[in-house]
Chain A
Amino acid sequence: MKICVLVKEVPDAAVEKRIDPSTGRMDRSGEKNLNPYDTHAIEAAMQLKEGGALQVDEIVAVTMGPESAVRALHKAVSLGADRSIHLTDAALAGSDVAATGYALAKALEKEQPDVVLLGQQSDDGECYTIGAVVAEHLKAPSLTQVIKLDVVDGGLRCERQAEYGYDTVQVSLPAVISVGDAINEPRYPSLKAIMGAKKKPLETASAADAGIDASLVGGDGSRVQCGEFKAPPAKAAGTIIEDEDTDATVEQIVAWLDERKLI
C-alpha cells in the first residue's frame, strides 16, 4: 500500500512573522523550515511502515508551493519518505485554503494513496483545515487531530483529541488523517539520509499535469479575498503596583478593579 504525506514549507518558528506592507500578505522571505507538525505525520507514516501490520510499499511526500518548497521535500525524504512530488505553478499562487485543498487532492488522485497523512495545522496559516478539504475532494473519511494510530482489522484505530477527552474512531481505508504533535517523537535525520535526499526521485508537476482546473485555484479562483492584514496591536504597558505595604496594595488592586466594574 501507499501512504502520501502532505508537507508544507513554512517560515521558521524563530522568525518573527510580519505582514509585508507591499502585498498585504505574510512576509515569507526569511528562513524557512518544514512545518513541524508535518514531521510528526512523516514519523507516523514511518511507524506504520516499520510496524509491519500493514504492508507499506511506499511513502510519498507531496507539497504545493513555490520553487523553494523543494527543501521541505528534501527534509521529508531525509526523514524517511521514498520519493516526493512538487506541485508548483504560477497559476496556483495566492490560493486560499479551499483552493489549496482542491489542488492537493488533484495531485493525490493520480497517486491513489491508501492513507493520506498530514499535520493538523501549519505553523504559518494555522487554518487546521486542509485535511478536511482534501478528504472531501477524495471522497474519503477525514479524521483530524489524531494523537494515536493503530492498525486494527485492516483499518486504522485512531484516537483524536476532542474538546473534552478523546474520541476513539475506527476508520477504513483509504482515509485522510491529520495528526497532532503528541502522536510521536519524530526521529532526527541521519547524515546519510540528509546526503541521500537529493538522490531520491522528485517529480515536479504543473497544475495541468495534475489535472487542476485553473479557474478554481490561484488568487482569482479563491473565494477568500483578502482585504487588509494588520499585525495585532502591541499590548499596552500594564500598571505595576509595588508591594510595600500589603494592605495598601490590596486596596489599590480592589480600587482598580472596582473602577472598571470588574467586581
Chain B
Amino acid sequence: MTTPSPATIDAEQLEEIRDGIRQLCARYDGTYWQQLEPETYPAEFVDALTEAGWLAALIPEQYGGSGLPLSAASVILEEIARSGGNPGACHAQMYVMGTLLRHGSEAQKERWLPEIAAGRLRLQAFGVTEPDAGSDTTRIRTTARRDGDGWVVDGQKIWTSRAEHSDLMVLLARTTPIGEVSKRGEGLSVFLVDMRDRGDELEIRPIKTMMNHSTTEVFINGLRLPGDALIGEAGKGFRHILDGMNAERCLIAAECIGDGRWFVERASRYAGEREVFGRPIGANQGIQFPIARAHMAIEAADLMRWKAIGLYEAGRPCGAEANMAKYLAAEASWMAANACVDTHGGLGFAAEYDVERKFRETRLYQVAPISNNMILAFVGQNVLKMPRSY
C-alpha cells in the first residue's frame, strides 16, 4: 500500500482553480438553489462539476483524475460555498475517496477509480453513524460475518447522506465482537459496497431535515459482499477511517470559511445600502461590529486551515490543527450567519435572499461530521492532557 503523493501546487494554480470553479458556480445562482428546496438533489450542478472533472481532483492522474493535493480540493469546496451554493451535495466524494486511495488494493483502485473519475460511478456515501453510535463510533452494531469467500452484513445506519445519489458506499461494520477485542477500536472493518440493484438487502429511507441534504437511514438485511469488497485489513477499519479524518476536517473547515465569507460579503454590502433613520444601518456599531468580528474569526480560522493543510501535505502529524481548524471555521461561519441574519432584519428570513438557507446549511457543521463538542474534548484530553470524559 503506497500513500499517493499528489502533485504539488503553487499559489497561482490555486488562484486559477478558484477562478475556474467560480465561473462554473456563476451559472448556478441563488434562484437555482432556492428552487431545489426543501429536498431536491442538485443533480444538474453536481453533473456539471463531475463533467468538468472537479470532483475527481484528488484521484491520481493514472486513474483519470487530476492528482491534486488537499489544498486544491479545499479551495474547490470553499468556492462552492462562497458562491452561495451548497457543497454538502457533493463534498463526500472528496472525503470518502481518501479511504480507497490510501487503503485500497491496486486491483480495487484500478477497478473503481477510473469509473469514478469519468463520472460513470459515484462514490459519495459514507455509512458510519448508527442510531446508537454517533460520536462513539466504536459502539456500532452493524456486523459483517465471513461467508465463504465473501461477507454478509446486517445492521442499520443513520444519517447516511446522499445514499440515494451514490452508486458506491464506504461502510464501517464490526467483524469481531466488541467483547473479543482488547481495544474497542479494533475488530471493525471497512467495505466498499456496490449499492446498485440490491433489492431487499439494502433499504434506504430519506430523513426530512432542516436543510436540503439528502440524508437517509439505511437498513442492511443480509447484504452479500464479495471478498474483494473489504478495503485494507480486516479489523483495522477504524484506523483506516480515522486516517482520512484529518483531510475531512480540513475540507469542512474550508467549506465553513467559504460560507463565512459569503455571509460577510452579503452582510457588509446590505449594511451599506439599507437606510434606516436616515443613515445606512452599517454605520451603527450594533450592525457593524458583529460583521467585523465574524470577518476576523474567519480570517483566523483560515490561517489554522492553511496551517493544518500545510502539515497534512508535508506528511506531518496534523490531528490537533485539523480539528482546531474545523472547530474555529464552524464557529466563525455560524457567527457570520447570525450577523448576516441580524443585518438583513426581516429579509434575513426571506427565502429569496438566500440568507436563511445558508444559515440552515452552515449550522450543520457545528454538529456533523464531528460535533464541535467532541473537538473541545479532543483538545482538552489529547492536546492539554486533562481528565477524559470518554
Contact = CB atoms under 8 A, between A and B. Distances in A.
Given A188-B52, A190-B52, A74 B66 contact: no
B20 A78 contact: yes
A125 interface: no
A17 to B, nearest CB: 20
Contacts of B134: none
A191 B53 contact: yes
B119 to A, nearest CB: 11
Contact of A194 (B16, B27, B51): B16
By secondary structure, the A interface counts as helix
Interface residues of B, number: 15
Interface in A162-207: 188-192, 194-195, 197-198
B17 interface: yes
A190 to B, nearest CB: 4
B20 A192 contact: no
By secondary structure, the B interface counts as helix
Nearest to B48: A188
A163 B20 CA distance: 36
Contacts of A189: 20, 23, 52
Given A78-B20, A189-B20, A195 B13 contact: yes
B281 interface: no
A194 B17 contact: yes
B172 interface: no
Contacts of A192: 53, 66
Contacts of B17: 191, 194
B297 interface: no
Contact of B54 (A78, A191, A198): A191
Interface string B48-72: 0001111011000000001010000
Contacts of B56: 191
CB-based closest 10 A-B pairs: A191-B53, A190-B52, A188-B23, A190-B53, A188-B24, A194-B20, A192-B53, A191-B54, A189-B20, A194-B16
17 contacts: A78-B16, A78-B20, A188-B23, A188-B24, A188-B52, A189-B20, A189-B52, A190-B53, A191-B20, A191-B54, A191-B57, A191-B66, A191-B68, A194-B13, A194-B16, A195-B66, A197-B16
